[in-house]
Amino acid sequence: MNRNRILEIILGAALVAATTAKHYGWINRAIPEAQIDAYVEVLAKQISTFSKGVIEATKSVLTV
């Protein structure tokens, strides 16, 4: 998100709907509560299959 959008959210102190947060780029996706556990389990299993080197390389590329 850009600086202006971040200031609007922080200073406005309003609740932000998941669909709005997704539109702003604040979140990747909005998942219904009933599906969150299954989604996280699949994602965690996938990530756990990566070698330590792959995870470290990914983190170093994305660190700003």
Residues 36-60 pLDDT 10s: 999 999 999 999 999 889 988 988 8
Q: What is the DSSP string of 4-47?
A: HHHHHHHHH-----HHHHHHHTSSS----HHHHHHHHHHHHHHH
pTM of the entire structure?
0.58
Phi, psi values for residue 63, rounded to 5°: -75, 125
Nearest Cα to Cα of residue 27 among 12, 48, 9, 45:
9
Residue 63 has pLDDT above 80, yes or no: no
Nearest-Å Rg of the Cα atoms of the chain is 16
3-42 pLDDT, tens per residue? 888 888 889 888 888 888 888 888 888 889 999 999 999 9
